Structure 1
Amino acid sequence: MDRLSVMRLFIDASTLGSFSAAGRKHDLSPAASSAAIQRLEATLRVKLFERTTRRLRLSSRIVRQTRSSSRKRTEFRFWPRMPPAGFSAGKTKASSAGTASAGNLLASPAD
């Protein structure tokens, strides 16, 4: 299976809560879909699902990561548009102390 197909299988398995249901959607047996997900987990070195005989759900690590990523995307989307460092409305000339360079624009802000 190519990477995109495995990712689609992963999404369907997590949405449907079953390797069997996801496999049927992709014309795969439950064993083949489970094996594809196991290969994906081995490649990523991350446990994606918590499996029981009755239930399949995303692992707690994946749930935490998804929530964290969601918050970061939301924060970024609503991040205020800030002027570049050293910019001051009304000034026509920047002082050398307030001049921004590419290096300090990319640096993390100090806490």
Structure 2
Amino acid sequence: MSSDNKEEVMHLAGVGQGLMEAAFALVITRKYMGEGDNESVLTKRRFSVIERSLLHFEQNIARFSHCDISLGTIIVAVALDYLAFRLPELGVAKQYSALEAWRAGVANRPSFKTTAFG
């Protein structure tokens, strides 16, 4: 993927944004509804979005892992950091090792280090 490939950048941005929204919704639901909401249809759908997104990224890592940073890769990296921070019980780093290696590389960039939350 070159930096001129707007379609790929927007694809990554879209899937990454969906991942972030599903993760954020899970965290907020748990905060206000408690763990008892884990069986609701919406919660199951959010988990499904997260799983499908992570699997998609893991299976397609070669398409964006060797590229320079873009809006799409930033959104994906931030979403993965959010999952690691707020939903560590999902075990994303262990289940998706190639994706985790890519995320760790992006997180080591000076721009990410100086703006990291936590």
Larger Rg: 1
Higher helix fraction: Structure 1 or Structure 2?
2
